[in-house]
Structure 1
């Protein structure tokens, strides 16, 4: 009986979490669509991967980070964040929440959770994104 209770409790659906989906993206750094990543604070939006697309961002230290565009605030709505003109934040168009592109942290309510991030391996010639 205790086992059945533990299984039922352990299998409860976790709400308000961006789903984990397989991501395996590869691109050439010489592709003109990725030229924004040549500058600090540059960002590129990629559709068709992750939950709501990917957002690649060039950090101040020259590394590239990647976030799922699905807002962590009410992720079931699948609202895709978009980079702001400032080059430092991204905004959820559904709620107005803002996220820091330096680490994916929420910087404006109502969001309280980080954006989902992915592993980025960048060489001189290619960018690989996975989880």
Structure 2
């Protein structure tokens, strides 16, 4: 009886956890862009985030962080991702905003900074070389 109770308790614990991690669907990404040609050349000079269409669920956002490293996120909002609502840069230039729900996300790490979103944007690995930026998962 104790073993059965323990197994049920463990099962409930494992399967009752709320949504965690990425909620935006995972799709294969393999984008390579030249750093010093459009649209990425603006990033090397501290310019605004750049949007790349045709990749991910709703396109890519590539951003050069305050520390000087490149970050890449899917533009698909993590709030109701089935709507495929693409985030845009807000008026401050420091956050991304979901025009469908009003959710805001930090450019530095993709985390939600304004409800109703509770999950971060899907982030991708960025490999930087002297002349290129490659985004993949």
TM range (shorter): 0.7 to 0.9
Of structures 1 and 2, the larger Rg is shown by: 2
Deviations 1:65-111 (A, max 9, x none): 00000000000000000112322100001001000000000001100
Offset, 1:35 = 2.1
Q: Is the 8 A contact 1:59 1:65 kept in 2?
A: yes
In 1, the alpha carbon distance for the partners of 2:112 and 2:56 equals 19
Offset, 1:41 = 6.0
Match of 1:59 among 51, 65, 77: 65
Structure 1 gap ranges (5+):
1-5
Aligned residues: 119
Structure 2 gap ranges (5+):
1-10
Match of 1:128 among 120, 131, 134: 134
Cα RMSD over matched residues?
1.8
Deviates more, 1:19-28 or 1:37-46: 37-46
Could you tell me the TM-score, scaled by structure 1's length?
0.84
Could you tell me the TM-score, scaled by structure 2's length?
0.81
Match of 1:78 among 71, 84, 99: 84
Q: Which stretches of structure 1, 4 residues or more, deviate above 6 A after TM superposition? A: none
